[in-house]
Amino acid sequence: MQDQGSQTILLTGATGAVGTELLPRLLRRNPRARIVALVRGADQAEAESRLAATLAFSDTAPAERARVHALRGDVCAPALGLDTDSLRGLAARTSQIFHLAANVRFNAGLEDSRLANVGSTRAILDFARQAHAARDGDLRLQYVSTAYVAGRRLGPLHEHELDLGQSFWNTYEQTKLEAEAVVRQAQAELPITIYRPSQIIGTTAAGKVRKLFGFLEFLKLTCAGVIRALPAHPETRTDMIPVDYVCDAIAYLSGEPDSVGRCYHLAAGLAHSTPLGRVVDIAYRVLEEYAPPSRLPPRPDFVPIDLFEHQASNGQVHKSLNGLLQLYQTYMSYERDFQVADTMARLAGGGVTLAPMDEVVEAGARYVVAQHFGTASRAAA
């Protein structure tokens, strides 16, 4: 085994929502390691600029930033877009790989999504094999999948399950399953851990997140006053998870020997998820604190989907909401029963616990609403 001082961690997807939060955690947990972030860019300067913005958003300390280096490359390209000597040198130094990069657009074309999600995974596995050989087996690969590889399956969804012949709601789900299948095949030859987050929202305390997804996107439209109705049932529980919980879990488990060969649902699970009706209650209470009375948007109502479709056909639904619903309608209409008990117990042993989701939802709401309205205009009642 090589001395930790010579170790390098390769991180893909560093500029994304998860990568932005994971990077400072990796720095803290690996105080002698160097982190190389593979970043796309027209040139090295652009790659460095993108990484600098990530480090600034995450409030990474200047002393720690010195251990992070941008490497212009392309995870979808042969040899990661690197020349032979650079690739060989990187492989000889790399002791851990965190593969987060993905095309997360639900409406991407199948081939584009497959290139980004399956193609990049194959490229990373090729690099991992090279590093594994160069370092006499001193290598681990941490692969971030998604809980939504379950596709249209209903009922209990277990971590050991993958392809049970299910169909999918979008190309993201399909190609992430295809990519995870490739990763699972490689577990026979490489030490790999798989992580499956659900719908990412902001950090537990501050609600901060680099990119808005799902509920936070709907809240942004609500702030603008364009959502008056939602085609969903208020008792439906949609699985959301704070990004810091996901990153704390990955950072912790990546250092645990017994996590090799395992798959972890990083999700809230039905028992911990907040029903949509309460999500709206929480968000609107925050809106009432921040929005001046003259700018307070209407509170969205829950309506049957057939009524909503009638309203949409009459031009009563804003095109921005229609666009979001094309992406997220199924995640508001069907509960996913992700099995999380074993993972939560394992994480609790390392001090990683999930806060009450009502509190997480409120923090996320404050983050989005404050961006729109600024400082709270009145004290909470």
- Are residues 41 and 76 part of one domain? yes
Look at residue 378 and tell me if it is in a domain.
no
- Give strand pairing partners of 69: 36
> What CATH number should be reported for the domain holding residue 159?
3.40.50.720
Residues of the domain holding 318: 215-238+273-336+356-373
- Are residues 221 and 144 part of one domain? no
Residues 6+ apart with CB under 8 A from 22: 11, 98, 100, 247, 250, 251
Beta strands, E only, the chain: 8-12, 34-39, 68-72, 94-99, 140-144, 156-157, 192-197, 199-201, 229-230, 240-242, 263-266, 301-302, 337-338
- Are residues 190 and 280 part of one domain? no
- Are residues 123 and 193 part of one domain? yes
Q: Phi/psi of residue 51, each to 5°? A: -65, -40
Look at the block and give the residue holding tokens 């681990």: 140
Helix (H) or strand (E) holding 321: helix 319-333
- Are residues 183 and 52 part of one domain? yes
Look at residue 268 and tell me if it is in a domain.
no
Look at residue 323 and tell me if it is in a domain.
yes
Look at residue 79 and tell me if it is in a domain.
yes
Look at residue 14 and tell me if it is in a domain.
yes
- Are residues 367 and 290 part of one domain? yes
- Are residues 77 and 185 part of one domain? yes
Look at residue 267 and tell me if it is in a domain.
no
pTM comes to 0.95
148 within 8 A of 172, measured Cβ to Cβ: yes
- Are residues 174 and 120 part of one domain? yes
- Are residues 134 and 63 part of one domain? yes
- Are residues 64 and 170 part of one domain? yes
Look at residue 351 and tell me if it is in a domain.
no
- Give me the long-range contacts of 314-320 (CB less than 8 A, separation at least 24): 316/228, 317/229, 318/221, 318/226, 318/227, 320/221, 320/226
187 within 8 A of 262, measured Cβ to Cβ: no
Q: What is the pLDDT along the chain (381 residues), one digit of tens a residue?
A: 344 445 899 999 999 999 999 999 999 999 999 999 999 999 999 999 999 999 999 989 888 999 999 999 999 999 999 999 999 999 999 999 999 999 999 999 999 999 999 999 999 999 999 999 999 999 999 999 999 999 999 999 999 999 999 999 999 999 999 999 999 999 999 999 999 999 999 999 999 999 998 999 999 999 999 999 999 999 999 999 999 999 999 999 999 999 999 999 999 999 999 999 999 999 999 999 999 999 999 999 999 999 998 888 888 889 999 999 988 999 999 999 999 999 999 999 999 999 999 999 999 999 999 999 987 766 444
Domain count, the chain: 2
